[in-house]
Amino acid sequence: MPEGDTIHQSRLQVTPVLVGYRVDQFWARKIRGHRPRTGQLVEEIRVHGKHLLIDFDRRLSLRVHLGMGGFWRTSVSPSTPPRHRDPKLRLEILTEAGVVRCYSAPAIETFIRDSELSPLANLGPDLVVSPAERDQVVTSAVRRARLRCKPVEVMADVVLDQEVAGGIGNVYKSEVLFLAGVHPLSPLGSVSDASLTEIYAAASRLLYLHSQPGNAFRVTTASRPRFDGLPVERSIRRPVGGLPRHYVYERWRAPCLRCHTPVRRTYDGRLGRSSYWCPTCQPLSPAAETASPR
């Protein structure tokens, strides 16, 4: 599933073709809400968590969620023919600058900005923020986790809850829990505020790093610093600088990079998503083990 940094990279991809131009043609296979009209101006492209938002004039916004396998494609050739017959194509917008297409996205809808019916109303803060804004966003995420999640809910589910904080997906879930030394099946009630702060701060740093132009490749174990003092990532699945791309994600049964204990995997939790962890670096305390629903 695309995570928050991927959506920000998508924003960088579609902005030159859309922002500041009027719609020459709009097509959607299925859309909820009012369809943007020919001639409407695209004012801005925004991101909130895993949602890409295209703001048109007349206060109309288009929300796209890519789900598990959605993606965007752009072409700067305005004469590129439509591809409405492609069964994966969900959305197509033509402007004077080119064409933007979205494939396999399960959720496409429009809404009126600043209205009470905004689909973003219940979402947590977007974790992709600059270092200057990070403390405030992380503090908000920790507070929302305590208010919105039950103490017995396991951290593997809490971290993925977009109503707590927006942008974390399955890759960063496993990685930031490892960096904070928190077992994915630890109940929220057994995790301190300091550990929650560490989890959301690490997620914010990594997401911000990989949302920047030219830095879309995701590797959490590289040693070469960029931007916010965090490592460069690579999108290819091969070692970087002699190290695997990730500490634990998709490294089931491989040795932990810190202690060489075999990495484990579980699908436990309400969401049933895969979680990877090191049993030595991320121990489940006896008290937490008793409270865990496992």
Q: Which residues contact 101 (CB under 8 A, 6 or more apart)?
A: 72, 73, 74, 75, 83, 89, 91, 92
Q: Give the three-state DSSP class for 166.
A: strand
pLDDT at 291 over 60: no
pLDDT at 21 over 60: yes
Whole-model pTM?
Answer: 0.86
The DSSP code for 34 is P
Mean pLDDT value of segment 68-97: 82
Q: Are 66 and 46 in contact (CB under 8 A)?
A: no
Instruction: Return the pLDDT at 17.
Output: 95
How do residues 171-200 score in pLDDT, each as one tens digit? 999 999 999 999 999 999 999 999 999 999
Domains defined along the chain, listed by start: 4-112 (3.20.190.10), 131-291 (1.10.8.50)
Least confident of 13-17, 70-74, 83-87, 269-273: 83-87
Tokens found for residue 119: 């689909």
Among 176, 183, 163, 167, CA closest to 1: 167
Highest mean pLDDT among 21-35, 65-79, 243-257: 21-35
